[in-house]
Structure 1
């Protein structure tokens, strides 16, 4: 009996860069954007549609810059572009990672949920970076009330040990978009994002921290609406969402999709050529273009949907999936 040809796992639904690398998954190398990000303004704002690879990109960046993971650099990045062209800032930051997708979207409870999420991540920060932080920082931080006061305390304490923080916020607008979906909540939303509103105060604190130990920020979401409303709270951030330089940073261009199909065609049963598969996929997953200057040139495929298609095509023994759109996308 012939043994199946070993092939790379398809990272469908996977958002953790380390899992993708250690599980020998097929990874479309986007690490050549790291030097471009470093050369851009330090407070980077980036929006893309859902399921477009934003969280995996943040994960890749977090581990690249984490001061604790320098010994894993060769293992995780060695065969990628950045492994051969590392930047001076590699593995030089303490990382704070916040994922606002887990914050409760109910207006009457989002503050408590935001505080709880931030407190969990701030405690994790104090634990894993204890050797780089002032003694007793965790206990004192927990005496502070809420995310705003705790973040203010953390970045100021890091001055004492001359540390640099890289702040990542994924899906910054997740819960505010949920709130905005209810017309009756519009005025309450405005009160939270303008003036002395709590979310506004949080980003005011982030801004204040950039004058101290928060040296870089990378913020992702799906809509610019909330950031526009928070503008004076975070008016140092630069929106690179429509920049041609970063048009292809997430999602897959056609060359990347073709390379993936060509690879799996050598390890799995295919009943269609790469051209035929591209023709089938293009009406469903292609035709995203975010930078006006790139219009008429490169278009982008939704990366999650491409992985869904390839995974199902292979599992179907080389036949087209019955459903071209996965259920999760339909729900979104």
Structure 2
């Protein structure tokens, strides 16, 4: 089977014999029921392929759709003039980059539709292009804009340049409002729905289908898709990794499934990671490795975001769909970027419960976060976690604590008031990452951290207090009966009392019994 990794052109996929997951019934439904649509999805989730498929459909390329659902639905296959703008594939570090990107695409389309008179400003050129395409073909125009928000997203940490980008795009996209009679269909994609962008205020009939249950898997791969298209791939992957088919499916779901784009929706697999896994026959963090969340981490640090709430976040729909307040609250950007997803919904209060979608994202994100809260020295975060996990599995709490002590001993807290918080955050990351390999639980309250770690042979009950003593921590384990549930457990029980000193900004003692 040929996997279309990195191929976003529908025609190339169909002519090249690559596997194509049929979403054309949804495209047909959209094309027949409305005029303007918007869809947001995380990066590398198939938005560009969706737009390319729409382009081929509206250009009447019937032969490309043989055997697909739309072939039996569409009868006319009318060829419309398509104006396809793609704002991906550029780094918008200055206004020149944006002007070049829009200018080159306008020139290509003007040449295609025989535009003679060239105006100076983008809005006037776009307006004129729509009319010329309409007049030349005698048919209404289809407008497809892929990654409409990338120039703004690229400059979230440069407010002044971002505002300039936004103003240019506002004028350009706003042209569509006045050309309604010339337009048959409009479709925009992006990572987020940006407030204060006139395309959303002016086009009051623009339908946002980002959280519409009918289109939840229009991008991405559903469980049904996995069974229908990739049964052979699953079997081959299972054999290559010494797994049964069921074990392989479970691991694929654990690693790459779990995206939910509305309440009570089916889960969706990350297509980029899934296809790469089938191609290489290895389970790896493919999606995470293609982009680092450096700006997100910067926002989280600047807003003093409590990272321990990452898997227990709440938000309403208005917060999730607009990143205008990203500098005050990173949650919308975390959701729109694909690092958090919908895990539950409170219908009474219309509140969404958010969490990591899958192991790839959780593991990759926490692994990336760790050096921001405590230096790992010459080791990578996963080297440190692997050594700590081996200590735990082998029943060596002293070695585990020595590594933990050394880790925080080299931490240079610049502000004493932040040291306890950063210590708690670092412990959260360590325990969550270890939780991929051993069973862990963690609670934090009133200056202390309770940790429970369980392996096949050992149980660790750890109490970490602040500005106290290891003996007081152990006394609390006894007083609260933390180890009592394991009284009849055949595994060896280790009780560990730890004290973190805010004055010394490190662990200054521990005791194991």
Normalising by the smaller structure, the TM-score range is: 0.7 to 0.9
1:228–1:28 Cα change, 3 Å: same
- Cα 1:199/1:265, change in 2 over 3 Å: closer
1:58 to partner: Cα distance:
0.9
Identify which of structures 1 and 2 has the higher relative contact order when contacts are C-alpha pairs closer than 8 Å and 6+ apart: 1
Mark the CA change 1:158 to 1:189 in structure 2 (over 3 Å): closer, same or farther.
same
Residue 288 of structure 1: how far off its partner (Å): 0.5
Equivalent of residue 100 in structure 1, options 81, 87, 91: 87
Instruction: Provide Cα deviations, 1:27-49, integer angstroms capped at 9, x if missing partner.
Output: 11111112220233210100001
Render the CA deviation track for 1:213-249: whole Å, top value 9, x for unaligned: 1221010011112575643243331111000111111
Partners of 1:91 and 1:115 in 2: CA distance? 28
**Matched residues in 1 for 2:70 and 2:232: separation?**
22
**After superposition, where does 1:222-301 map in structure 2 within 5 Å?**
222-225=191-194, 230-264=199-233, 270-271=239-240, 272-294=243-265, 298-301=266-269
8 Å CA contact 1:176–1:226 kept in 2: the answer is no
The alignment status of 1:64 with 2:57, answered yes or no, reads yes
Contact 2:88 2:147 in 1 (8 A): yes
Aligned-partner Cα distance in 2 for 1:41–1:150? 26
Structure in which a larger fraction of residues adopt helix:
1
Aligned to 2:143: 167
Contact 1:167 1:218 in 2 (8 A): yes
- Closer, same or farther in 2 for the Cα pair 1:329/1:252, shift >3 Å? same
Structure possessing the higher radius of gyration over alpha carbons:
2
Correspondence for 1:214 among 177, 180, 183: 183
TM-score when scaled to structure 2? Answer: 0.52
Q: Could you say which residue in structure 2 is the equivalent of 1:310? A: 278
Q: Which residue of 1 aligns with 2:451?
A: none
Per-residue CA deviations over 1:229-274 (Å, capped at 9, x if unaligned) read 6432433311110001111111001121133331336788934333
CA gap 1:111/1:269 in 2 versus in 1, 3 angstroms:
closer
Displacement after TM superposition at 1:164 (Å): 1.3
Using a 3 Å threshold, how does the CA distance of structure 1 residues 188 and 234 change in structure 2: closer, same or farther?
A: farther
- Report what 1:148 is aligned to: 123
Match of 1:324 in 2: 285
Q: 1:236 to 1:28 in 2, by over 3 A?
A: same
Alpha-carbon shift at residue 87 of structure 1 (Å) = 5.1
The answer to whether the Cα contact below 8 Å between 1:97 and 1:121 also exists between their aligned partners in 2 is no
With 110-119 and 231-240 compared, the bigger mean Cα shift is at 110-119
Q: Tell me how far apart the structure 2 counterparts of residues 32 and 227 of structure 1 sit (CA, whole Å).
A: 33
The answer to whether structure 1 residue 200 and structure 2 residue 170 are counterparts is yes
Question: Does the alignment pair 1:177 with 2:138?
Answer: no
Alignment of 1:61-140 (within 5 A): 61-67=54-60, 69=61, 73-74=62-63, 76-86=64-74, 88=76, 90-126=77-113, 137-140=114-117
- Shift of the 265–187 alpha-carbon distance from structure 1 to 2, 3 Å rule, reads closer
What count of residue pairs does the alignment treat as equivalent?
290
**Where does the alignment leave 5 or more consecutive residues of structure 2 unmatched?**
294-513
State the secondary structure of the residue aligned to 1:291. coil
Q: 1:266 to 1:287 in 2, by over 3 A?
A: closer
**Contact preservation (8 Å) 1:200, 1:233:** no
Residue deviations 1:85-108 (CA, integer Å, cap 9, x gap):
2255x3331111100114551243
Structure 1 stretch 258-267 or stretch 24-33: which is displaced more? Answer: 258-267
Name the counterpart of 1:46: 39
SS of alignment partner, residue 109 of structure 1: helix
Per the alignment, do residues 22 and 112 of structure 1 end up closer, same or farther by CA in structure 2, a change over 3 Å counting?
Answer: same
Q: Displacement, 1:109?
A: 2.2
CA distance in 1: counterparts of 2:83 and 2:151, whole angstroms: 19
Give the TM-score taking structure 1 as reference length. Answer: 0.79
Cα contact 1:10–1:25 (8 A) shared by 2? yes
Give SS of 1:32's match. Answer: helix
Counterpart CA distance in 1 for 2:127 and 2:3 is 41
Mapped contact 2:91–2:154 kept (Cα < 8 A): no
Distance across 1 between alignment mates of 2:210 and 2:168: 26
Alignment RMSD (CA, Å)? 2.5
Alpha carbons 2:234, 2:249 under 8 Å: kept: no
Whether contact under 8 Å (1:78, 1:84) holds in the other structure is no
